[in-house]
């Protein structure tokens, strides 16, 4: 059974049996986004196929459709990555930019949420303009990203690496990386303004 609350970070690696026997068979192609032709033609990019765990994919499609009704178009930069793809990414950064950069920017195989199928990186298009969701130089993010962060929990997602929590998550602020945990836990994390690490800590201490 899929563990929607699995904690994966620099200290917690995905078990290989779990990865091979549970995660991999649960991965499906994310439903291509309807009515996005114009966007992709405008930006001359192709929507590449992305993959996620089945329920995560369904919930993301719901989130995406809802956002579209509100005038915000969501794209996916990265979904499920295999251990092999993950290691390639890490080694690429390592070779090109050295260990410090690699460790800040990627994780080794099995240590990334992208290996769970429960996490993805999103992009934002607004009114057919490329919005992006990257952090601006002054540390701010676009208003659509803020709005997105405020509705994620309704669809069972959390912002996994919030601003100012680097000392806990050991990851820099990533306004684009979202993780599926289910509606109940997502709501709890959102309302209590805690990280997923802190949620697990509270649970382990018997406080939840
Ligand atoms: Zn990510």
Q: What digits encode the pLDDT tens for the residues 155-172?
A: 999 999 999 999 999 888
Ramachandran angles phi, psi of 166, nearest 5°: -55, -35
Q: What's the predicted TM-score (pTM) here?
A: 0.91
Distance 166 CA to ligand 1 centre (A): 15
Residues of the chain under the 70 pLDDT cut: 34-47, 126-131
Q: What span, in angstroms and rounded, lies between the C-alpha atoms of 173 and 165? A: 8
Distance 43 CA to ligand 1 centre (A): 22
- Per residue in 117-138, pLDDT (tens digit) is 999 999 887 666 666 777 777 8
Q: For the domain covering 16-132+140-203, report its CATH number.
A: 3.30.1380.10
pLDDT of residue 134: 77
Angle at Cα 43 formed by Cα 39 and Cα 46, nearest 5°? Answer: 80
Distance 173 CA to ligand 1 centre (A): 11
| Tokens found for residue 182 | 């289910």
Distance 13 CA to ligand 1 centre (A): 16
Q: What span, in angstroms and rounded, lies between the C-alpha atoms of 179 and 130? A: 23
**DSSP conformation letters of 7-62:** --BTTBPPPHHHIIIIIGGGEEEPPPPTT-HHHHHHTT------EEEHHHHHHHHH
pLDDT of residue 128: 62
């Amino acid at each position: 059974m899929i563990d929607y609350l699995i904690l994966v970070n620099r200290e917690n690696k995905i078990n290989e049996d779990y990865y091979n026997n549970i995660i991999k068979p649960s991965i499906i192609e994310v439903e291509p986004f309807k009515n996005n032709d114009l966007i992709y033609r405008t930006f001359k990019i192709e929507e590449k196929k992305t993959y996620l765990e089945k329920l995560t994919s369904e919930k993301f499609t719901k989130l995406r459709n809802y956002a579209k009704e509100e005038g915000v178009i969501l794209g996916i930069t990265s979904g499920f990555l295999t251990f092999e793809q993950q290691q390639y990414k890490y080694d690429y950064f390592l070779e090109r930019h050295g260990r410090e950069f690699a460790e800040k920017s990627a994780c080794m195989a099995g240590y990334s949420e992208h290996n769970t199928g429960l996490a993805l990186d999103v992009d934002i298009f607004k009114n057919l303009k490329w919005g992006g969701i990257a952090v601006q130089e002054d540390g701010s993010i676009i208003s659509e990203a803020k709005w997105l962060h405020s509705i994620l929990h309704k669809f069972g997602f959390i912002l996994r690496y919030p601003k100012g929590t680097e000392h806990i998550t050991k990851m820099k602020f990533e306004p684009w990386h979202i993780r599926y945990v289910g509606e109940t836990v997502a709501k709890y994390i959102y309302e209590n303004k805690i990280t997923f690490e802190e949620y697990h800590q509270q649970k382990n201490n018997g406080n939840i």
